[in-house]
Structure 1
Amino acid sequence: MAHYRKINRNRKRPFFSQRRRGLSGVPLALFAGTILGICITLLALTFFYYDEMQGAALSLLGWAPTPTLFPSQHAEQGLVLYNQGDIERALADFEQAIQQRPNDVAYLYEYGRVLIEADQYELARELGERAIVADPDDPRGYALKARSLIWSDPGSAIPVAVSGLERDANFAPLHASLAVAYTNIGRYAEGYQRGLRATQLDPLDPFAHRAFSIPLIYTGRSSEAIAALEQAVAINPNHTAAYFELAGQYRRQNYQEMAVGIYRRILELEPGNAKAYLRICQTYAEVGEFLEGSRYCETATEIDETYAPAWQYLGQLQYNRRNYESALDSLERCVALGSVAVECYYIRGLAYYFLDQCDTAWRVLQEALQLTSQPSIIAIINEGLSGIRANCPGYENVRLPTPI
Structure 2
Amino acid sequence: YGLLIGGILVFVSAQFGKLQLVALDAIGLAPTATPFASTFASQGYDLFLQGKMEEAATAYAQAVSQEPNNINYIYEYGRTLIELDRPASAAQNRPKSDSELASALGDRAIEAAPQDVRAYTIKANALVWLDDSQSAIPIALKGYEINSNFAPLLAILARAYTDIGRYQQGLDYGAAAVDADPKSVEAHRGYAIALILVGRRDEAIKELEDAININPNLTSPYFELAGQYKGANRLEDAIAAYEKVLTLQPRNAKALLRLCETYTQVGQNEQAEGFCDDALTIDPNYADAYKARGGVRFRRRNYEDAIVDFKACQANDSTAIECYYQQGLAYYYIGGTANCDSAWDLLNQAQQKTTEPTILNIIQTGLKLVTENCVAYNNHALPTIEPTVIPPTLIGAG
Tell me which residue corresponds to 1:281.
260
* TM-score under structure 1 length normalisation: 0.83
Q: Structure 1 residue 78 and structure 2 residue 56: aligned? A: no
Tell me which residue corresponds to 1:228.
207
Q: Per the alignment, in what secondary structure is the counterpart of residue 376 of structure 2?
A: coil
1:382–1:402 contact (8 Å) kept in structure 2: no
Q: Structure 1 residue 142 and structure 2 residue 120: aligned? A: yes
Q: Counterparts of 2:313 and 2:114 in 1: how far apart (Å)? A: 45
Equivalent position to 1:205, from 181, 184, 190: 184
Q: Structure 1 residue 259 and structure 2 residue 241: aligned? A: no
Q: Counterparts of 1:311 and 1:244 in 2: how far apart (Å)? A: 20
What letter matches 1:374 in structure 2?
E
2:351–2:385 contact (8 Å) kept in structure 1: no
Tell me which residue corresponds to 1:399.
381
Q: Structure 1 residue 116 and structure 2 residue 95: aligned? A: no
Q: Structure 1 residue 330 and structure 2 residue 309: aligned? A: yes
Tell me which residue corresponds to 1:219.
198
Segment of structure 1 superposing worse, 72-81 or 332-341: 332-341
Tell me which residue corresponds to 2:367.
385
Q: Counterparts of 2:202 and 2:342 in 1: how far apart (Å)? A: 48
Tell me which residue corresponds to 1:365.
347
Which consecutive unaligned segments of at least 5 residues does structure 2 have? 1-20, 86-97, 387-398
> How many Å apart are 1:291 and its aligned residue?
2.0
Q: Counterparts of 1:214 and 1:307 in 2: how far apart (Å)? A: 26
> How many Å apart are 1:339 and its aligned residue?
1.0
1:209–1:228 contact (8 Å) kept in structure 2: yes
Tell me which residue corresponds to 2:58.
92
Deviations 1:179-229 (A, max 9, x none): 101111111111111111111111111011000101111111111100100
Tell me which residue corresponds to 1:302.
281
Equivalent position to 2:111, from 133, 154, 157: 133
What letter matches 1:336 in structure 2?
A
Change (3 A) 1:355 1:101: same
Q: Per the alignment, in what secondary structure is the counterpart of residue 394 of structure 1?
A: helix
Q: Counterparts of 2:124 and 2:385 in 1: how far apart (Å)? A: 44
Q: Counterparts of 1:387 and 1:274 in 2: how far apart (Å)? A: 37
Q: Counterparts of 1:87 and 1:80 in 2: how far apart (Å)? A: 10
Equivalent position to 1:315, from 286, 294, 297: 294
Q: Counterparts of 1:131 and 1:298 in 2: how far apart (Å)? A: 41
Q: Counterparts of 1:188 and 1:326 in 2: how far apart (Å)? A: 44
2:151–2:186 contact (8 Å) kept in structure 1: no
> How many Å apart are 1:65 and its aligned residue?
6.0
Change (3 A) 1:403 1:241: closer
1:297–1:314 contact (8 Å) kept in structure 2: yes
Which consecutive unaligned segments of at least 5 residues does structure 1 have? 1-57
RMSD: 1.7
Q: Counterparts of 1:177 and 1:391 in 2: how far apart (Å)? A: 53
Deviating above 2 A after TM superposition, structure 1's stretches of 4 or more consecutive aligned residues are: 62-67
How many residues align? The count is 345
What letter matches 2:364 in structure 1?
N
> How many Å apart are 1:399 and its aligned residue?
2.1
Where does 1:150-165 land on structure 2 (aligned, <5 Å)?
150-151=128-129, 152-165=131-144
> How many Å apart are 1:322 and its aligned residue?
1.1
Q: Counterparts of 2:282 and 2:237 in 1: how far apart (Å)? A: 24
> How many Å apart are 1:403 and its aligned residue?
5.4
**More contact order relative to length (CA 8 Å, sep ≥ 6):** 2
Q: Per the alignment, in what secondary structure is the counterpart of residue 372 of structure 1?
A: coil
Q: Counterparts of 2:108 and 2:377 in 1: how far apart (Å)? A: 60
What letter matches 2:310 in structure 1?
L
Q: Which has the larger radius of gyration?
A: 1
Q: Per the alignment, in what secondary structure is the counterpart of residue 150 of structure 1?
A: helix
> How many Å apart are 1:66 and its aligned residue?
2.6
Equivalent position to 1:349, from 318, 321, 328: 328
Change (3 A) 1:396 1:188: same
Q: Counterparts of 1:280 and 1:66 in 2: how far apart (Å)? A: 44
Where does 1:36-115 land on structure 2 (aligned, <5 Å)?
66-115=32-81
Percent identity between the two aligned chains: 49
What letter matches 2:365 in structure 1?
E
Q: Counterparts of 2:234 and 2:175 in 1: how far apart (Å)? A: 26
